[in-house]
Amino acid sequence: MSVAIQTRELGKSYTLGVKGAGYGTLREAIVEKTQRPFRREGRKKKSDRDTLWALKDLSLTIRSGEVVGLIGHNGAGKSTLLKILSRITEPSTGYADVTGRVGSLLEVGTGFHPELTGRENIFLNGAILGMRRAEIRTRFDEIVEFAEMERFLDTPVKRYSSGMSVRLAFAVAAHLEPEILLVDEVLAVGDASFQRKSLGKMNEVAKEGRTVVFVSHNLAIIQALCSRGILLERGEVQADAPIVEAIDSYLRTLERAASDDLLERTDRDSRAYDETLVRRLEIQDASGGHPNVVVAGRPATIAVDVTEPLPTMECQLTIVNSLGQPVCTFDSEMNAPVDVRESEPGTRLECHVESLPLLPGRYRIDVIVKAKRHIQDGLQAAALFDVEPGTVGDRPMAAEAEGDVVLPHSWRLPA
Amino acid sequence: METLAPEERNPVTPAPGSETLRLEPTRGFSRVLAPRELWRYRDLAGQIALRDITVRYRQTALGGAWAVLQPIGFMVVFSLIFGNVAGLSSNGLPYPLFSLAALVPWTFFSTALLLGSDSLVSNSALVSKIYFPRIFMPAGVIVAGFVDLAISFVILMIIVFAWGFVPSVAILTVPLLVAIAAAAALGTTAALSAINVRYRDVRYVVPFAIQMWLFVTPVVYPSSQIDEPWRTLSAINPMVGVVEGFRWATLGTGNAPWDLIGISAVAAVAFLLAGLAYFDRTERAFADFV
C-alpha cells in the first residue's frame, strides 16, 4: 500500500510571548534591533528558555486510505500537526512528505463573505478549499441539494441563519475530493439532523478509501470514523494504536491528569488571563463518602477552589461523558434568584445540583472560571467522577439504559 | 455506525504521477516568485479578486459612484485651494483638468496602498486556516482597483472632451502608465501588508504616509516647477512618471515626459522586486503571527 503522509523528526517551535501575545509593536522591534549588538549573550539565554516545542521529533507513516484520529489534550500539538500538513505553517525541524492532493475541512464560515450571495460563496469557498472552478460548476447542483437551500441561493449570506451558513459551508466542503482530507474539529456545529448527515458524509468519504486525518474532542465520533488513533501529549506521540486502544490510553491520561495537582497542569485554556487558577475541583455526594463518587438521583455539590479571590468571579462547569460528548453545562452567569453571592471575596465556588440525573458510568468535568469579563482559567477534565446506580424519582434505572441522563417521569398505563 | 474494517475499504491511491510534496523548514526565497505555485492556485486568485470587486461595490450605498466621487471631490477642492487661492501653476491648463488627470491614477495608487496594506490582517481567518500563495491578498486588492480606475478614467475622458481637448495618440501609453502604477503599488503593498502582520503600527502609518506621498508627487503642482536636477531625480518616486505621463497622454498637450516615465518605470520595477522579495522572505511565518 502506498504512503500518503510520512513525517521524520518533525518539530515545530514557537517563541513564547510571540504566539500568545500576537503582534509586537514596531517600537519594540526597533529598540530590540538597536540593542541587540550589546547583549548578544543575554538574548541567547532568553531564546533557550522561551521556546515552546508544540511538536517534537514526530515520525509517523500514514498509508493511503487510512482514517486516523488525532487525540490529546489542548495544546498537545494536534492542530499544529494539521497546520503543518496543510502547509499553513512550516515545521521548524524535520520534514513531512505528503503525496496527493490535500484538502482541509475548515471551521464553518471561514472564507465565507457575508456580503456575497450563497451562489458566489460556493464558488469562493470551493476555490479556497482547493477546488477548480470547473469542478465546482459540475458539482454545483449536488452542493445546493445537499445544503437544502435552492431558494436562498441569491440571498447574501449575512441574511442566513447560523444553521443555514453551517449547512452551506459543510455542503461545499463535503464535495471536495482530495486524496488526503484533514479535519479539525468541525462537526461540533449545526442541528442534530444535519450533524447526522455530515457524519454520514464523513463516513462515506472514509469508505471511499480516502486518507483522512481527523481531530476532534468528541471521542464517539472519532471512534466511529477512525480505525487508527494517535495520541499526542506535549508534542510527542504517546500511543499509536487501533482507535479503541488509543482512546483507552487517552482516557487513562485524563484520569492521571485529574488526580494530579491541578496547578501542575499545562494544558490550560489558551484564552485565559491566568490571574486566578483552578487549584482543585471536586464533586461530592450529599451523603458524604468518597469525593468524585456520586449516586444517581441524589443531591451533589461541585466545589471549585481557585488560587486568588478576584471580585465577582463566575464559573462554567460542563459535564462530559466518557466519549467526550458534553452532557450538560452549569453556567453561573445565567443567574437565578436561588443563587447566593457572598459579601466577601473568596476562593471557593460551589454548584449544587438537587438531583443528579446521570446514568451510571464515568464522567468528567470541564471548568472555566471568569472574572473581570475575561476567562481567567479553563481546564478540561479537571475532575473525573463515577456515578453509581441509584433511583431517580423513586424509580430504579434500567441496567441497559441508553444515553447519559435519566429524568424523573411518570406513566399512565392501561389495565 | 461501525468502525470500518480496513478490508471493506478500497484505498484511493493518489493518481499516478501525483507528486510528493516535501514540507520542511525553508530559508531564503522560494515561494511567491515560483510561477508554478501561482499557476496552480490561479482559480483561487480569480475568486479572491472577484470577491474584492463584488464586495467593494455591494457593501457601499453609492457603489461604483465612489470610484468617481473621490477624484472629482479632490479635483474641486484642489482647484479652489491650490488653483484659485494659492494660484499654483498648472502649465497653462485649466486647473480642474490638470488636477483630475493626475488624481485618477493617484487615487488608484493610494486606494491600493490603503486597502492592500491591511489585506493580510483583515483576512487573518483565511491566512491562519488555509494555504495559498499569500500574495493573492494584496494582489487581489490591486486587481479590484482596476475596475475603479476604469470607471474614473471614462469620466476623465468625458470631461476632457467636454472641455474641448482632444487626446493625441499619446493616449496609447495609458496601459504602460497603469502598469507602472500597478507595479509600484503591488511592491509597496506587498511589503506593507507583510510588515502589518508583525507590527500593526502600519495601520496608523499608511494613511499618514499616503498624505505625504501625495505632496511629493506632482498632483497639485506641475513637476516643471521643480528645478533640475531635482525634477529628474524626483522620478524615482514611480508616481511622478505616472502622473505627468497621464497628463500628457490624456490631455494631448505638452511635451512627452519620457525621461520621467523611463526613470519611474525602472523605479517601479525596483519597488516591485524589493516588495516581493521582502514578502517572500516573511511569508512563511505569517500564519504564526496573524
> Which chain B residues are within 8 Å of A133, Cβ to Cβ?
43, 46-47
Best residue of A87, A107, A154 to probe chain B, by most B CBs closer than 10 Å: A87
Decide if B288 and A84 are in contact by the 8 Å CB cutoff.
no
Rounded to the nearest integer, the mean pLDDT of chain A is 83
Strand order in the sheet with A51-63: A51-63, A3-15, A93-99, B20-23
Interface membership of B47 toward A (CB under 8 Å): yes
Q: What whole-number distance in Å separates Cα of residue A272 and Cα of residue A266?
A: 12
Interface membership of B42 toward A (CB under 8 Å): no
CB count in 10 Å sphere of residue A143? 21
Mean pLDDT of the A134-154 span: 88
Place of cell 457524519: A199
Decide if B51 and A243 are in contact by the 8 Å CB cutoff.
no
| Residues whose CB falls within 8 Å of the CB of residue B145, separated by 6 or more in sequence, listed in order | B108, B111, B112, B115, B185
A27 — pLDDT class (breaks 50, 70, 90)? low
**Strand, coil or helix: what is B108?**
helix
pLDDT for A306: 93
| Residues whose CB falls within 8 Å of the CB of residue A314, separated by 6 or more in sequence, listed in order | A331, A332, A333, A369, A370, A371
Strands (E), A269-373: 278-285, 293-295, 300-306, 314-321, 326-331, 348-353, 361-371
CB-neighbour burial class of residue A159 (10 A; exposed 0-12, middle 13-18, buried 19+)? exposed
Interface membership of B211 toward A (CB under 8 Å): no
Decide if A120 and B54 are in contact by the 8 Å CB cutoff.
yes
Inter-residue contact A12 to A53 (CB < 8 Å): yes
Q: What whole-number distance in Å separates Cα of residue B247 and Cα of residue B250?
A: 6
pLDDT for A316: 95
Inter-residue contact A174 to A146 (CB < 8 Å): yes
DSSP A235-298: TEEEEEEEHHHHHHHHHHHHHHHHHS-GGG-----TT---SS-EEEEEEEETT-SSTTEEETTS
pLDDT for A20: 39
Decide if A127 and B289 are in contact by the 8 Å CB cutoff.
no
Residues paired with residue A62 on neighbouring β-strands, in sequence order: A5
**CA closest to B198 among chain A residues:** A23
CA distances from B135 to A299, A322, B42, B204, B277 (A): 60, 45, 12, 22, 11
Decide if B287 and A88 are in contact by the 8 Å CB cutoff.
yes
Decide if B198 and A93 are in contact by the 8 Å CB cutoff.
no
| Residues whose CB falls within 8 Å of the CB of residue A343, separated by 6 or more in sequence, listed in order | none
Does the pTM exceed 0.80? Answer: no
Interface membership of B6 toward A (CB under 8 Å): yes
pLDDT for B116: 93
Q: How many Å separate Cα A334 from the centre of its chain? A: 23
> Which chain A residues are within 8 Å of B13, Cβ to Cβ?
1-2, 64-65, 179
Mean pLDDT of the A247-254 span: 85
Residue among B10, B14, B44 whose CB faces A99 most closely: B14
Decide if B43 and A133 are in contact by the 8 Å CB cutoff.
yes
pLDDT for A187: 58
Decide if A26 and B129 are in contact by the 8 Å CB cutoff.
no
For chain A, how far is it from start to end, CA to CA, in angstroms? Answer: 64
pLDDT for A25: 61
> Which chain B residues are within 8 Å of A9, Cβ to Cβ?
none
CB count in 10 Å sphere of residue B224? 14
Inter-residue contact A346 to A366 (CB < 8 Å): no
Q: Residue B217 has which C-alpha cell?
A: 508627487
Best residue of A59, A66, A113, A172 to probe chain B, by most B CBs closer than 10 Å: A113
Residues paired with residue A14 on neighbouring β-strands, in sequence order: A52
> Which chain A residues are within 8 Å of B46, Cβ to Cβ?
127, 133
Angle separating helix axes B136-162 and B174-198, nearest 10 degrees: 140
Q: How many Å separate Cα A366 from the centre of its chain? A: 12
**Strand, coil or helix: what is B159?**
helix
In this predicted structure, the answer to whether residue A293 has a pLDDT above a threshold of 70 is yes
Please give the share of chain A, as a percent, with pLDDT higher than 70.
Answer: 87
Inter-residue contact B133 to B31 (CB < 8 Å): yes
Q: Residue A411 has which C-alpha cell?
A: 406513566
Distance, in angstroms, between B179 CA and closest chain A CA?
Answer: 27
Mean pLDDT of the A278-303 span: 88
Inter-residue contact B184 to B192 (CB < 8 Å): no
Q: How many CA atoms lie within 13 A of A370 on its CB side?
A: 12
A69 — pLDDT class (breaks 50, 70, 90)? very high
Which B residues 221-260 touch A at CB under 8 Å? none
Question: Of A188-192, A228-232, A288-292, B43-47, which one has max mean pLDDT?
Answer: A228-232
Residue A36 DSSP class: G
Interior/surface letters A293-304, b for 16+ CB within 10 angstroms, e for the rest: ebbbbbebebbb
With CA atoms as reference, report the closest residue to A276 among A312, A223, A248: A312
Mean pLDDT of the A383-406 span: 82
Inter-residue contact A301 to A283 (CB < 8 Å): yes
Q: How many Å separate Cα B41 from the centre of its chain? A: 21
| Residues whose CB falls within 8 Å of the CB of residue B110, separated by 6 or more in sequence, listed in order | B210, B213, B214
Residue A15 vs residue B189, higher pLDDT? B189
**CA closest to A183 among chain B residues:** B129
Complete domains list, chain A, with CATH:
268-396 (2.70.50.60)
Q: What whole-number distance in Å separates Cα of residue B249 and Cα of residue B108?
A: 17
Residue among B12, B47, B59 whose CB faces A64 most closely: B12
pLDDT in tens, chain B (290 residues): 444 444 445 565 555 556 788 888 877 666 656 788 888 888 888 888 888 888 877 766 666 777 788 888 888 898 888 887 887 787 788 888 999 999 999 999 999 999 999 999 888 888 888 888 889 999 999 998 998 899 999 999 999 999 888 888 888 999 999 999 999 999 999 999 999 988 888 888 999 999 999 999 999 888 888 888 888 889 899 999 999 999 999 987 778 889 999 999 999 999 999 999 999 888 877 877 76
Q: What angle do CA A169, B37, A93 make, to 5 degrees?
A: 90
pLDDT for A45: 42
Decide if B12 and A207 are in contact by the 8 Å CB cutoff.
no
H or E segment to which residue B101 belongs: helix B95-116
pLDDT for B13: 57
Decide if B6 and A104 are in contact by the 8 Å CB cutoff.
no
| Residues whose CB falls within 8 Å of the CB of residue A238, separated by 6 or more in sequence, listed in order | A72, A231, A232, A249, A253
Inter-residue contact B213 to B102 (CB < 8 Å): no
